[in-house]
Amino acid sequence: MMTPLVWLIPLLMMMAVLAMFVGVYRMTVNDPRIESRLEAISVPQTRRVARPSYQQHISGFFNKLAARWGITERIATRLARANVKLTVMEYVLIHLGIIIGGFIIGLLITRQAIPGIALAITAAFLPRFYLDRREHQRLKAFQEQLPDTLNLLVSSLQAGYGLTHAMEMVVQEMPHPTSEEFNKVVREMALGFSLPEALDHLVQRMNSDDLELIVTAISVQHEVGGNLAEILDTISSTIRDRVRLKGEIAVMTSQQRITGMVLSGMPFILGTLIMLINPDYMMTIFQPRWLFIPGLAIFMMIIGNLMIRRILSQEF
């Protein structure tokens, strides 16, 4: 007679693979809902109101559940900053699929639940690490392009163009992600958002202190007037000095940062390898009388990471 676990494992694996495929599909195609909304604005037509589909009912249920837990806005902001074309529901499903997949892999390899739980906990950090990595790369590229972006804005303003046309020049001339983000600003203004609102959305997506300074200057000039080209030129010089100083500090502290990363990741990597090679040997520390050892090790690693981050923190 087949046990329920035999039926449960293939079902969970199917759910995990399905969730991952949904994520990959959503990241490789354009969002049809956005295109349909833009089309509805640009080409007015009389259409029959369709009944909500089964997929929309499920999506609404998960979105309401996530909103009740207070994670919808936070996840949506992180997805926007990382430029990951997923909805909150899809990201949550993929996250759950990765966790379940990690548990199944650990369970199938070791035939024990504790290694599966440990691997599931480790897998739970993978989506967040991916978002952090994407967000950091986009923000770094945006920060490096920001002085050139300001110079282009200043040149366009000094040539007699308006700010909207100057931002369109940024869209045409600058590489990603600057062109992509300013294109969103221009499109939002075309859809009816005011200039301060569209720029505030840009600040929320990029989370850059330098950009916030620029947006504040533009918003103040938009309200009270003034020579915007001269203001942006002064800010550009300040930002160039800050970027140069940050680069010098990053070079000086690179060895310490890499040391902290290696020391933090090595115990988990070695523990996972030993668990896969010789589970019985590794299971000794998970016995009740030795459980304080991994707990104490994790606590000391957290304290060490916090100390390293505090020492290497850069405040300007």
Q: Say how far apart CA 272 and CA 274 lie, in whole Å.
A: 6
pLDDT-based confidence at residue 66 (cuts at 50, 70, 90) = low
DSSP secondary structure letter of residue 50: P
| Weakest mean pLDDT among 57-66, 74-83, 157-166 | 57-66
DSSP secondary structure letter of residue 299: H
Rg of the chain over all Cα atoms, to the nearest angstrom = 25
Is the per-residue pLDDT at 13 higher than 60?
yes
Express each pLDDT in 174-207 by its tens digit: 888 888 889 999 999 888 888 888 888 888 888 8
Q: What is the mean pLDDT of the chain?
A: 77
- Retrieve residue 217's tokens: 């200057």
pLDDT at 44: 42
DSSP secondary structure letter of residue 310: H
Express each pLDDT in 69-103 by its tens digit: 667 778 888 888 888 888 888 888 888 888 888 88
Helix, strand, or coil (residue 31): coil
